[in-house]
Amino acid sequence: MQISGVLRHKGADVLTIAPTESVRTLLDRLRDGGVGALVVSTDGRTVEGIVSERDVVRRLSTDGDGVLDIEVSQIMTADVHTCSPSATVDDLMAVMTEQRIRHVPVLEDGVLVGIVSIGDVVKQRMSELQSERDQLEAYISR
């Protein structure tokens, strides 16, 4: 299945945060959105970075609670792995595993159109496996 299919099922809403916002604001948005990462974007269309709960925790462990008042741009990952809607779930799963990343923004013609998490990929793969199992059971029971 292609990533476009995953986005059709889960929705294409992407929560973003400006690079100049504080880490404290980031934490509020992560909590309110019930997500583990936000795309860093000034205009909501381009990807300037990505920032996750892990980024915050890593900086908290070295800098203490002073990290809460710095800008998101200071803790974000600027080298973001992205994919297109035509990428396959299997290909993206391999990239996520190899690169040890949990969130991948989806870009179409350079414009942000969605985000896929490792949970989305696993859910889709489990659905595919269940479907294959059901088909095999139906074939055997005939």
Burial class (CB in 10 A: 0-12, 13-18, 19+), 104: buried
Domain count, the chain: 1
The three-state secondary structure class of 40 is strand
Tell me the whole-structure pTM to 2 decimals: 0.87
Q: What is the CA radius of gyration of the chain?
A: 18
pLDDT of residue 40: 98
Write 119-125 long-range contacts (CB < 8 A, 24+).
120/6, 120/10, 121/6, 121/89, 121/92, 121/93, 121/96, 124/1, 124/5, 124/6, 124/9, 124/89, 125/89, 125/90, 125/93
**pLDDT number for residue 75:** 97
- CATH number of the domain that 10 lies in? 3.10.580.10
Residue 105 dihedral angles phi and psi, to the nearest 5°: -65, 145
Please tell me the predicted confidence (pLDDT) of residue 71: 97
pLDDT under 70: residue ranges of the chain: none
Task: Compute, in degrees rounded to 10, the torsion defined by CA atoms 106, 80, 100, 37.
Answer: -70
Domain of residue 17 covers 3-141
